[in-house]
Amino acid sequence: MMRQVRRGPAVPPGPRSAYGDPGPAAPPHGAGVPRQPSYVDGQGHEEGAGYGDYDSGYNTGQVYGGSGGRGPGGTAGAPTRAPRPAPNWRRRIKWTAITLATVLVVTSIATYFWADSKLRREVDLSKVIDRPDGGDGTNYLIVGSDSREGMSKEDEKKLHTGGAEGKRTDSMMILHVGGNGDTLISLPRDSDVVVPSYQGSTSGKTYPAQGRHTKLNATYAEDGPTLLVRTIEANTGLRIDHYVEIGFQGFAGIVDAVGGVDITIDKGFKDKWSGADFKAGKQTLNGQQALAFVRTRHAFAASDLQRTKNQQKFLAALAHQVATPSTILNPFKFYPTMGAGLDSLIVDKDMSLWDLGSMFWAMKGVSGGDGTSMNMPISGSVGGNLVWDKAKVKTLVDELNNGEKVTVSGN
């Protein structure tokens, strides 16, 4: 039992003067003031009174006070948050397109100047004398040399190139890009030709014609690209507009950069001289294997004629491989391939990237069946050299110069 504490006498109603003096008397119960609970039974309410008779304002979590018009729990005077505007998709798409176009243009320009700076414009065709008139289209002389530039002794052994000094050419092709179809003509290295008068590439001295016969590739070894061009023009009457040369190391580098080249070999063959060892069937050749494939001639009865056909077949497969989306659209493959090719190419001084691109796409077109691939027409041989069929060669050159469809076939 708690001891009851007796309170002092209630302060009578009435005004208080100060500090404890009573102010105005409270209005009697029922005059607009809610009834307050008494503590008669110590429970905080009178006996018989329900909890619903008194609402403290806390039982629903409501906080009384000004809300600044924001509802319960608001803060007086707090600013309201504006709704987030809907995204402007048209504007976003526009600026995304502009950004992508800018990046593409800048990348293309940078790639052009990068590629152009890599071209080795070392051959001066202006030194070639007594040239025939040009005809329809553009004629490219494509040469594969046995240059060992940049190769170590280990590279020479690995690629079976030997260590001979100087440069010779194992493959020569004329690619004619014309309005009536493109034509790829292989010139066998053992072709019998007459050496014309020519101007020395280094000395500038003019050497008169002496009616001397030699193999076509010997003219390249004698005085380089300009004498080779002069000899081809004199023996065919076809003007060469551009010159492109690639060496052993560069050729193997391009094949490796593109990830190898898929090719189908009809009949297996071996050759100790080139290092070739192939079985029949479809396979992927790396740089070393590709070089062996295009250089082999001792394994064939047709010797150099079969080799030129293999060279055309492989170059067609290489052009197709380089032009696939997996190479062009992949910068990690595209730039190494471009770099390997451009670093190893020797071209004439007037060659542009546009000309080089035209040559490449024409080569790809010929490989896809949109053009003609052939050997130079042969009529026989003399002293181990292959003799061109002069009548067929004249017809072929006339058709090329006049923009006519080629009707001549080669061996």
The reply to whether CATH 3.40.630.190 applies to domain 121-402 is yes
Helix-helix angle 248-257:304-322, to 10 degrees = 40
* pLDDT bracket for residue 341 (50, 70, 90): confident
Query: Distance of CA 406 to CAs 174, 183, 378, 398, Å?
Result: 14, 8, 16, 9
Computed over every residue of the chain, the mean pLDDT equals 80
Average pLDDT over residues 272-276: 87
Phi and psi at residue 21, in whole multiples of 5°?
-70, 140
Element (H, E) at 135: none
- Given a cut of 80, is residue 359 above it in pLDDT? yes
* pTM reported for the whole predicted model: 0.71
* pLDDT bracket for residue 394 (50, 70, 90): very high
Do residues 359 and 177 touch, judged by C-beta distance below 8 A? yes
Q: Residue 193 forms beta bridges with which residues? A: 214
Find all residues with CB under 8 Å of 276, minimum gap 6, and list them: 269, 270, 289, 292, 293, 295, 296, 299
- Given a cut of 60, is residue 48 above it in pLDDT? no
For tokens 């056909």, what's the residue? Answer: 309
pLDDT digits (tens, 9 = 90+) for 87-111: 888 888 988 988 988 888 888 888 7
Do residues 183 and 400 touch, judged by C-beta distance below 8 A? yes
- Given a cut of 50, is residue 47 above it in pLDDT? no
**CA–CA dist 117, 109 (Å, integer):** 12
Query: Which residue type, as a one-letter code, is found at position 393?
Result: V
* Alpha-helical regions (H) of 323-375: 325-328, 331-344, 353-367
**CA–CA dist 250, 343 (Å, integer):** 7
The residues spanned by each domain of the chain are 121-402
- Given a cut of 60, is residue 38 above it in pLDDT? no
Note the Cα 259 to chain centre separation in Å.
13
**CA–CA dist 62, 59 (Å, integer):** 7
